[in-house]
Chains A and B, each alone.
Chain A
Amino acid sequence: MSMKKRLLAVAAASALTVATAVPALALENEFHGLFRLRGFIENFNDGGAGAVTPINNPRTKSYFEQRARLMYIAKANDDLKLVTHFEIDSRWGDNSYATGRGQGGGIGADTTNLETKNVYLDFNIPSTPVNVKLGIQGFDDGYKGIIFNNDAAGVVAKAKTGFGSLGGAFFRFDDAVTGGSYLEGTVTNTTPGYLTRDLVNLNAKFNVTKDVKLGADWYLLYSDVLRQTQDRTAINMFGVNAEAKVGPATIDGFVLYQTGKLGSAAAIGNSQKVSAFAGNVGAKLKAGPGTLRTNALYISGDKSSSSSVRNDFQTVADRTVNQAAHAFYAAEMQILLRNKYNMNSDRAIVQNLNNNRQGIYGGFVGYDLAIDKFFVFSNVGAAAISRDTNGANRGGDFLGTEVNTEVGYKLFDNMTTSVQAGYMFLGNYYKPVTTGSWPENPYTAKVQVNYTF
């Protein structure tokens, strides 16, 4: 071997030695992800998102949609990591050779459809107990998702304390340069930061005992997106949540009260006062070979959109008003409320819990049974509107009763296949006011393959 080659070999070996000697200081790579395929046969979902109103003769829809997510976390050290999360959605046969999200399932595929779901920095401030997440991220509101359960750009800080934790968050939901706002109408914002919608949160959690926890929050939902045409919105939310393990049961719940002002097209020049309420009680109990779950939810409503005081609970919508940015997945409904497995097909009878100012109250009971690789999850839920907004009463406030089940098998530790089915018996709310036919009861049947890692 020539001297040059020997030197090269020595240099390469030295480089290898250095590289392998300090991996603890090098980037640690972490990957997670999922793949989910759902095949639908149903009469209310149509591949889109938003509330659905049952009709007399809905067509049966049958289609497939899939979702893949890839999460890459670059860990610089124990206290600093960059989290990125990407998503690719398609409905089989929808489109190809195109550019845009939620498509590319058509023949030929080849679509530019990669969505960036999360990009944020997650770090601990040295010598403090404070963790900060900075960037586009998901958020756990502490109220089972009914305030905000989506991704957004912001900063979340949390400090562990001897009694529990203290935290704060700021999210910028809207800073629309052009285009539609989350409310009706279109705005043009030529000055970034001028027309915005923000969410602010301060929270404290107290570990009273190992099995008893209390939480208190203040949220501010602020919007001046439509300041050029109506008053600003500034809604304060005060909430208390609790969880306690009592014998074999775990009981949890929350109370949220909203106050402040709501800018509204119905009261131009004068914002409306807000006085609204939401509450929940839930329980989980080991019963027989499985687990019994119950949840009750109340979301206040209002008769009129033009009254000086609005009593309907103001929820966070996406940038398009018909798409909720919140959910109540704990109910485990498939038709009545949003289901946790919903992807681009995300319709429900009550998709936005504000429910067109009507609010909602309901009770939900489920039983989960898992034996080795088999599982059966069954649920029944019933709900009614809290307030009738138009006074017509439509024969009643009762929205209906849903029964659903999911029967599945774990093919592998992290891959399940299941069949889901749900049927909703419509209540008097859908009774024809005068003449005409009742709308058809919604139903759904799905086959699902879910792989996560």
Chain B
Amino acid sequence: MRKFVACLILLLSYICVPVGEAAPIKAYVGEFTVTGGQNKDELKGILQTLLTSRLASDSVTTIDSNAGAEVIVSGSYLQIGKVFSIDAVARNSKGEVVTRAFVQGESQDELIATISKLAQGLSDGIARRYALIGSSQPVAEAGAAAVPVMAPPTDIVRPTDIVKPSTAAKAADGAPQSDIIRATPVAKSAGGGWVSQRLTGAMSGIAMGKTLDNGDREVFVAGPRALYYYRMGEGLKLLAEVKTGGEEKVLGVDTADLDGDGLQEVYLTVLSGESLVSRVYVADGNGLKKIADNLPYFMRGMALAGGNKKIYVQQMSSDADFYGDVYELVKSGDRYEMKNPLKLPRFAFLYNFNQFKDRGGKTNFVVLHPDGYLLVYSPSRDELWRSSDKYGGSELYFQRPDLSSFRTTGDPMRWIFLQQRIVVTGNGEIVVPQNGGFWVVGNSRSYGKSAMVAFAWDGSSLEERWRTRQSQNYLADFVFDEARKELVLLEVVKKAGLLDTGASALYIKKVE
């Protein structure tokens, strides 16, 4: 009998001990979104910290990074008058909702108490429902990166409950259904979740070259008066640079293989005084060789309607900054010619438009309005839709003498700002930057934060598909590497000042 009792106790201990000592669920609390109220930026971090420390319990432990997190909690804070509401949702790594909770209060005095209440509700819900829904492997392995710095987690945010009526939207919905997609570690996707070293100078343009056998990629970065040729592997390695002359200003860089020889040419738009003196280079792995000079065009590489990437050009006249139609640039031997004119809708010029196809196969235009609104035009150039929010926004400009307006402007020069590129992917997504600023008045522009936003056309309006987490930097330019599902972002991390030239960095964000 004693042996039986001992065996029973031993058996029970095997059964009970794992239950009693189950590992706590690892939870990560992301930054809150804050609407209304004061000190929004401070509040985001404060709410995150308060909930992180209060969420921890016997069954839930909180960690400082979402790498390795089994549950990710995202929250929002809404204040109207003195009344506030805090809503939070906990999801597992598949994006499935584990639990939701909300609290509300009638003044800021109740904030801490309500956070504690919220934490309690969430903790209980996670403990009760996490196992029921089904655990999953942590989404990111911490410490796997072999690159200088890991990009912030949760790069891409997708709205919930998206209705996808259109073909394009459905096609664009090939990505996983989770609301939050995190940057994939470099070990799993070469070049993903990556931040370059700091580059001296406030750069203005970026273009990607070929991918080398070892997976490294060629990158061309334009500064105000120079073109830099980098190899991007674990870091950025400068291979060559070309400086422009005294009065010359670089307005953009793009790459394309127009002659089909398998080598991507580098198209550099350069303005000298009032004349365009653009040029073309080829990269040979170590340096840049100029193959064309003094091309009188603004140039931009675009894949219209998600098709093949080509170089499009527009001219400048003595009084019009962007003259006439946009043309396709064609290389014939050593010469470049303009062909296939494209008549643009109102407000469009070379630097602020693209095209996309709707479900009926019609090619519509998408244009960034001078005030920042996204416009959609029909093939007959009729306006179909315009956004409520503002997108785009560029600090890149050139100047032309304009004495006729001097009485009004007080400035002998006219300022002409360029615009952010709009990328249309093969599956119909429209990717556009959104720079926001603390000081954007008239010709004085200083953007201080940015995000990338993707839309799909539902037949009536553009519907947001996803967006990147907001960066605290001005986005100067970007490339969307559709094959790798990567956004390569050129951000100005320090503005040029009186005595320094500023600094920039490249970021890669994975879009899954």
Residues of A within 8 A of B (CB): 1, 5, 8-9, 12-13, 16, 20-24, 28, 30-34, 36, 67, 69, 71, 75, 78, 85, 118, 138, 140, 144-145, 149-151, 207, 210-211, 213, 243, 245, 248, 250, 284, 286, 289-291, 329-330, 340, 369-372, 411-414, 450, 452-453
Contacts and interface: CB of A to CB of B under 8 A. Distances in A.
Contacts of A243: 318-319
B403 A286 contact: no
Given A21-B388, A412-B498, A211 B318 contact: yes
A31 B403 contact: no
Contact of B443 (A23, A32, A145, A211): A32
Interface of B: 78, 80-81, 83, 104, 106, 225, 245-247, 272-275, 315, 317-319, 323-324, 346-347, 369, 371, 373, 386-389, 403-412, 441-444, 498
B247 A290 contact: yes
Nearest to A243: B318
A372 B317 CA distance: 24
A143 B104 CA distance: 68
Nearest to B36: A16
Given A290-B247, A329-B403, A330-B403, A34 B371 contact: no
A12 B407 contact: no
A412 B323 CA distance: 29
Contacts of A69: 410
Contacts of A24: 373, 386-388
B443 A452 contact: yes
Given A210-B317, A213-B318, A213-B319, A286 B272 contact: yes
A414 B443 contact: yes
B406 A340 contact: yes
Nearest to B316: A210
29 contacts: A1-B104, A5-B106, A8-B83, A23-B388, A23-B389, A31-B442, A32-B442, A36-B410, A67-B410, A78-B347, A85-B408, A138-B405, A140-B405, A145-B404, A149-B407, A207-B317, A210-B315, A210-B324, A243-B319, A286-B272, A289-B245, A330-B403, A340-B403, A340-B412, A371-B246, A372-B225, A452-B409, A453-B441, A453-B444
Nearest to B496: A413
Given A9-B83, A24-B386, A250-B318, A452 B410 contact: yes
Contact of B80 (A13, A34, A211, A369): A13
Across the A-B interface, the 5 shortest Cβ-Cβ residue pairs = A453-B444, A34-B410, A32-B442, A371-B246, A140-B404
Contact of B408 (A12, A16, A138, A413): A138
A329 B406 contact: yes
Contacts of B324: 210
B443 A453 contact: yes
A414 B318 CA distance: 23
Contacts of B245: 289
B442 A370 contact: no
A112 B410 CA distance: 23
Nearest to A244: B318
Given A32-B409, A151-B407, A245-B318, A289 B246 contact: yes
A22 B318 CA distance: 38
Q: In the complex, which of the residues B80, B272, B386 has the most CB atoms of chain A within 10 Å of its own CB atom?
A: B80
A9 B442 contact: no
Contact of B407 (A138, A248, A414): A138
Contacts of A13: 78, 80
Nearest to B390: A23
Nearest to A209: B317
A415 B406 CA distance: 16
A23 B272 CA distance: 39
Contacts of B412: 340
Contacts of A452: 409-411, 443
Nearest to B247: A370
A294 to B, nearest CB: 15
A9 B443 contact: no
B3 to A, nearest CB: 65
B388 A20 contact: yes
B426 to A, nearest CB: 30
A75 B442 contact: no
Nearest to B413: A452
Contacts of B315: 210
Contacts of B274: 250, 284
A1 B411 contact: no
A5 B107 CA distance: 12
B455 to A, nearest CB: 16
B442 A1 contact: no
Contact of A22 (B247, B388, B404, B444): B388
